[in-house]
């Protein structure tokens, strides 16, 4: 455990050192390309569903172990918000990225990202949370309400939830607050009557926040997030990373590293795994802003 604490501290230091690589817009991709010339490590981008500090704490030790097992050095990266993450994926700032199912479908089509792995035995469900003492008893009570969402293209927390509300003829006003954690905290503080999220990030909340909330509604399940690579990553590297990710869930030390992510293990993924998301025929919403 001491080893993993030290790895975590190293990850936090790395988080701040990545600030130049994570400049906005085209500058981010340019810096990432320059970094690859002097640093052989692959940049592993994590979709910012939670704060950068929490992501570094939870993912840093896992990526250290992934580097060791695969023989492929990788380093943690994220973005200040989900739209910026989307922009950086599109511009090639990340060699590898953990992205939501909708991101994967769009970026597979747009820039050719390919899947390595996904969580095993897991389905991604959107949830609507409200205050523990709040009035809504079902989603019909949300008609005419102001609701919080992480970002326009957050798959289960925004797109699935919003689509379900519209299908139920429920009128609402969307407010995008940048992350899942920001949704939960905003609802707990009473700024919104309810908001969209997913079970994994909800269960990862500190008890002090989660105990102020309750889950009002749960969506059907979909194929979960993808770990995907930019097409420039060589096949041999992809295979080494996939094998190490799958092996991680088979060992107790690896499962210990996966536990903070609420993931029990990974399986090798193929593009058709996300056909259920394609079947939803979601119109492209990347880069859109709050109306």
**For residue 220, which phi and psi values (nearest 5 degrees)?**
-60, 165
The pLDDT value recorded for residue 31 is 53
- The model's confidence at residue 246, banded by pLDDT at 50, 70 and 90, is very high
What would the pLDDT profile of 29-72 be if each residue is shown by its tens digit? 555 555 555 678 999 999 999 999 999 999 999 999 999 999 99
What would the pLDDT profile of 185-202 be if each residue is shown by its tens digit? 999 999 999 999 999 999
Instruction: Judge whether residue 25 has pLDDT over 50.
Output: no
**For residue 31, which phi and psi values (nearest 5 degrees)?**
-65, -40
Please state, for a pLDDT cut of 70, what percent of the chain lies above it. 85
Mean pLDDT over each residue of the chain, to the nearest integer: 88
What would the pLDDT profile of 172-186 be if each residue is shown by its tens digit? 999 999 899 999 999
Mean pLDDT on 259-264:
94
The pLDDT value recorded for residue 40 is 85
């Amino acid at each position: 455990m001491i080893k993993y604490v030290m790895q975590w501290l190293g990850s936090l230091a790395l988080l701040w050192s990545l600030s130049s690589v994570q400049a906005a817009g085209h500058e981010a991709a340019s810096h990432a390309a320059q970094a690859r010339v002097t640093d052989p490590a692959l940049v592993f981008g994590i979709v910012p569903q939670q704060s950068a500090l929490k992501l570094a704490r939870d993912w840093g030790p896992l990526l250290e172990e992934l580097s060791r097992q695969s023989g492929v050095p990788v380093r943690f990266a994220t973005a200040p918000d989900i739209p910026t993450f989307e922009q950086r994926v599109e511009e090639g700032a990340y060699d590898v990225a953990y992205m939501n199912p909708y991101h994967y479908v769009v970026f597979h089509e747009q820039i050719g990202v390919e899947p390595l792995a996904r969580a095993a035995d897991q389905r991604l469900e959107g949830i609507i949370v409200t205050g523990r003492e709040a009035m809504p008893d079902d989603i019909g009570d949300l008609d005419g309400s102001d609701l919080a969402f992480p970002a326009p293209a957050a798959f289960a927390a925004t797109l699935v939830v919003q689509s379900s509300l519209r299908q139920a003829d429920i009128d609402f006003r969307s407010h995008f607050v940048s992350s899942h954690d920001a949704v939960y905290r905003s609802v707990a503080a009473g700024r919104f009557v309810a908001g969209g999220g997913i079970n994994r990030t909800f269960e990862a909340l500190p008890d002090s926040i989660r105990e102020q909330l309750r889950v009002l509604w749960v969506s059907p399940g979909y194929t979960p997030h993808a770990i995907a690579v930019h097409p420039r990553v060589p096949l041999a590297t992809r295979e080494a990373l996939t094998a190490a990710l799958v092996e991680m869930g088979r060992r107790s030390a690896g499962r210990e590293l996966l536990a903070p992510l609420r993931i029990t293990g990974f399986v090798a993924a193929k593009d058709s795994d996300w056909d259920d998301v394609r079947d939803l025929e979601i119109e492209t919403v990347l880069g859109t802003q709050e109306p």
